[in-house]
Amino acid sequence: MGLFGKDKRSDEERTEDAMQQAEKIVGGKGLTGKLAKGFMGADTMAKFGQGLDAARDAQASAAIAASGIPGVPAKVTALSDTGQLINYDPVVNLTATLESGQVIEMQTLVSKLQIPRVGDTVSLIPNPSQPGTYVYGGLAL
């Protein structure tokens, strides 16, 4: 990519590059990371690290949800806000119970237009890369 040229990389490549650069800064690596840590403090950098982890989890959840794997219905038993936002959508701590009685706890990104409430039925999608875990698939219809 030139100074005034068009970036010929795909959206996925640009996103991955941006995430890698953010990890370097949050990790305190390089001049920019050390300056950021020095000016903002270790506590603030830790919060940025948590936000970066939530963004990575949201990317993985979106990819799995788009894969077409059918979801498993679960009833929301607890929900709390983490105070984090990604593109103005909240990250929440979600506890849900499957029909088998298994309790699933996760921290996930939800749409601000479809925030589940306690008692709602949501769709949880089995995570193929980590057997035994689930990702949030949205409100069940």
CB of 137 within 8 A of CB of 109? no
Q: How far is CA 77 from CA 4, 34, 42, 53, in A?
A: 52, 42, 35, 24
- Give the per-residue pLDDT at 80: 95
Q: What is the pLDDT of residues 83-103, one digit of tens each?
A: 888 888 898 999 999 999 999
Least confident segment among 51-60, 108-117, 129-138:
51-60
List the beta strands (DSSP E) in 11-140: 72-86, 89-98, 103-109, 121-126, 134-139
Do residues 33 and 77 share a domain?
A: no
Q: Is residue 101 domain-shared with residue 126, that is, in the same domain?
A: yes
Q: CA geometry: angle at 61 spanning 24 and 117, to 5°?
A: 120
Domains contained in the chain, number: 2
Whole-number Å distance between alpha carbons of 89 and 102:
27
Q: In the listed set 25, 41, 65, which residue is the last one of a domain according to the structure?
A: 65
Q: Bigger pLDDT: 99 or 32? A: 99
Is 83 contained in some domain?
yes
What's the domain range around 104?
A: 72-139
Torsion of CA 52, 33, 40, 15, to 10 degrees: -30
User: Is residue 1 assigned to a domain?
Assistant: no
Task: Judge contact between 138 and 112, C-beta under 8 A.
Answer: no
